[in-house]
Amino acid sequence: MTDDTQTTTAAPGEGSDFPQSWKFDEDGNSVTGTYLRMDEGTTSYGSKPIVVLDVDGEERSVWLSQTALRSKFADELARRHASDFDPGERISISRAKEKKTAASGHAYWPFTVIFHNAPKRDAASILGIDEDDATADDDGEDDGIPF
């Protein structure tokens, strides 16, 4: 099995509940669309996340089977402190032209993902201040920090 092929209980886009899959080898190394929803499908390697995008008026499934790609989406949600992406936000996914080799010797596809409408982080988030910390009243006690 290659990185771009999924074995599902029903082939995506062919009699299954999934829109047609974006196949990087056939459809191109880049796809841009508006986020519709997150789904999951079963492969011979277990359940895998699927992002469904509206690409030029057509629903397309992008399987997040590769760890490098899945991590981009997980990291973005963690950065936002959110449980989902906003329906209608534009997302671009690009796969490199060639695989890279990790220090472990494992070959992988590098991906770039751009979340065009991602919310900007506020100052408290950038500084790592918890919401409770940012709104807590100063009790006037010395915290022992000399500055």
The whole domain housing 122 covers 20-135
Q: What are the tokens at 71?
A: 């991590």
Note the pTM of the prediction, 2 decimals: 0.75
Amino acid found at 61: S
Q: What are the tokens at 145?
A: 């920090």
Which of 23 and 137 is assigned the larger pLDDT?
Answer: 23
Q: Is the pLDDT of residue 4 over 70?
A: no
- Strand pairing category for 90-95 and 58-63: unpaired
pLDDT digits (tens, 9 = 90+) for 9-48: 444 444 457 899 999 999 999 999 999 999 999 989 899 9
- What would the mean pLDDT of 120-143 be, rounded to a whole number? 71
Distances (CA, A) of 13 to 19, 25, 61: 5, 17, 8
Domain count, the chain: 1
Q: Do the domain assignments include residue 114?
A: yes
Q: Do the domain assignments include residue 96?
A: yes
- Which domain CATH number covers 37? 2.40.50
pLDDT digits (tens, 9 = 90+) for 59-102: 999 999 999 999 999 999 999 989 999 999 999 999 999 999 98
Question: Given the structure tokens 């751009």, which residue do they identify?
Answer: 114
Long-range contacts of 23-31 (CB under 8 A, 24+ apart): 24/95, 24/109, 29/94, 29/95, 29/96, 29/97, 30/92, 30/93, 30/94, 30/95, 31/55, 31/60, 31/62, 31/92, 31/93
Q: Rg of the chain over CA atoms, in angstroms?
A: 20
Question: For the chain, how many residues are written?
Answer: 147
Q: Do the domain assignments include residue 125?
A: yes
The 3-state DSSP class for residue 28 equals coil
